[in-house]
Amino acid sequence: MSKIETNFAGLELKSPIIVGSCSHTASIDKIVEFEKAGAGAVVLKSLFEESITKEVASHGSTLEEHPEAYDYISSYLSDKVVSDYLNLIREAKAKTNIPIIASIACHTDGKWEEFASQIEAAGADALELNVMSLCTRKSYTYGDFEKMHEAIVANVASKINIPIIVKLGANISNPVALADSLYARGAKGVVLFNRFYPTDIDIDKMSFTMSSPFTTSSNLPQSIRWAGIITASVPQLPVAVSGGVESYKGIVKSILSGASAVEVASAIMKNGAGWITQANEALATWQKEKGYGTINEYKGKMNAADPENADRLMRTQFLKYFSEIH
């Protein structure tokens, strides 16, 4: 019988499908629905560092002449945002039996150690850190961006015992070196890749707008390329693929490249929780047809540990690709 259980970052998953952080994972009813549909785990909607800052700032103008009141309100609002998030964790754990992964989207070091401890105490099975930042400083010193990731992970790892998962942006110059460094500092898994909100311009209104927030299958190749390279170079660090998994085929491709799991949000938001059930069934059918009893039997079969695979994964020359098109 074909089994689709897997292990990612020390978490035992009944399916490699992890519901990625999105608006739906802030709803207890949806989280329960995802479990019933067969999800392996759920990443709760991210708590953004700047959301707390903005919530506090929105009340600041009315309290500028009363600094003591401003300090009190600021502290209250910050505590409430955090408290609401901790309650979401507790309720999700009380009503489901799958791993619940908390998520923090942060862009500075030093603010999240205490909150990480509260997340652990609330019952989260793991913590995903999204380092949401663009490196744009003109005075940038090479390596500063990576050091920020390392400092955040090291500081949080010193405070908690649950697995730390780092969701990397695609704007890292050397994901392999950073993955290895993050593992050394306590990370138990990485997710490839985080995607910044797509920016567009309305040329009639002369204003910024947002293009489609959903990923498509065109986003997948970059993630499976790096999954194939990282899992060969840093095999001790589990990898999950995120972005562009639209069907069971994307799951298979990710696992073949070495990933242990996939994070899916767009496909589920567009098609509903039933997508999870259909993808699980199709994955099990594919495994059976290929003669695989478990995911581990083919995980990494096409990663860069094989020199022939490495040649294809690391090939960057434009003409080499087009020479194969007749």
pTM of the full structure: 0.88
End-to-end Cα spacing for the chain = 41
The residues near 175 (Cβ < 8 Å, ≥ 6 apart) are 168, 192, 226, 229, 230
User: What pLDDT is recorded for position 284?
Assistant: 98
Name the helix (H) or strand (E) containing 290: helix 274-290
**Segment 81-113, tens digit of pLDDT:** 889 999 999 999 999 999 999 999 876 655 667
**Segment 8-37, tens digit of pLDDT:** 999 999 999 999 999 999 999 999 999 999
Identify the segments of the chain with pLDDT beneath 70: 1, 48-78, 107-112, 132-137, 140, 197, 212, 316-326
Name the helix (H) or strand (E) containing 48: strand 47-48
Q: What radius of gyration do the chain's Cα atoms show?
A: 21
User: What pLDDT is recorded for position 71?
Assistant: 42
Domain spanning 6-322: CATH 3.40.50.300? no
User: What pLDDT is recorded for position 140?
Assistant: 66
Cα-flanking dihedrals φ and ψ of residue 21, to 5°?
Answer: -60, 125
What's CA 45's distance to the chain center, in Å? Answer: 11
